[in-house]
Structure 1
Amino acid sequence: MKVVAFERSVQGTGASRRLRNSGKTPGIVYGSKDPALVIELDHNALFHALRKEAFHSSILDLEIAGKTQKVLLRDYQMHPFKPLVLHIDFQRVSATEKVHMRVPLHFTNAETSAAVKLQGAVVSHILNDIEVSCLPADLPEFIEVDLSKIEVGHSVHAKDLTLPKGVSLVLHVEQENPVLANARIPAVKAAETEEAAPAATAAPAAAPAADAKDKA
Structure 2
Amino acid sequence: MKLLTVEGHKREALGKKDAKKLREEKLVPGVLYGNDEVVHLSVPFASLRPLIYTPNVYLIDLEVDGKTYTAMIQDVQWHPVEEEILHIDFLKIDADRPVKIAVPVKFVGMAKGAKAGGKLKVNMRKLRVKALADNLPDAIEVDITKLAIGDSIKVGQLQKENLEFLDNKSNLIVGVVSTRAAKSVTALDDDDEEGEEGASESEESSEQ
TM-score grouping bracket, smaller chain normalisation: 0.7 to 0.9
Hey, what does 2:141 align to over in structure 1?
144
Q: Is the 8 A contact 1:30 1:90 kept in 2?
A: yes
Residue 52 to residue 123, structure 1, CA distance change in 2 (3 Å)? same
Q: Select which of 176, 181, 190 maps to 1:189.
A: 181
Q: Is the 8 A contact 1:58 1:139 kept in 2?
A: no
SS state at 1:17 partner: helix
SS state at 1:11 partner: coil
Q: Distance in 1 between matches of 2:49 and 2:119?
A: 35
Hey, what does 1:108 align to over in structure 2?
108
Structure richer in helix, relative to its length: 1
Hey, what does 1:18 align to over in structure 2?
21
Residues 45-60 of structure 1 aligned to structure 2 (within 5 Å): 45-54=47-56, 57-60=57-60
Q: Is the 8 A contact 2:156 2:169 kept in 1?
A: no
- 1:14 Cα shift? 2.1
Runs (5+) with no aligned partner, structure 2: 193-208
Q: Distance in 1 between matches of 2:183 and 2:170?
A: 32
Hey, what does 1:208 align to over in structure 2?
none
Q: How large is the Cα RMSD of the aligned pairs?
A: 2.3
The alignment-based identity, stated in percent, is 24
Q: Select which of 148, 165, 170 maps to 1:169.
A: 165
Which amino acid in structure 2 is aligned with residue 167 of structure 1?
Answer: L
Q: Select which of 121, 130, 146 maps to 2:118.
A: 121
Runs (5+) with no aligned partner, structure 1: 201-216
Report the number of matched residues: 189
Residue 155 to residue 26, structure 1, CA distance change in 2 (3 Å)? same
Hey, what does 2:151 align to over in structure 1?
154
Tell me the TM-score normalised to structure 2 length.
0.81
Q: Distance in 2 between matches of 1:46 and 1:58?
A: 11
Residue 167 to residue 49, structure 1, CA distance change in 2 (3 Å)? same
Which amino acid in structure 2 is aligned with residue 161 of structure 1?
Answer: L
Which amino acid in structure 1 is aligned with residue 98 of structure 2?
Answer: K
Tell me the TM-score normalised to structure 1 length.
0.79
Structure richer in strand, relative to its length: 2
Q: Distance in 2 between matches of 1:194 and 1:180?
A: 26
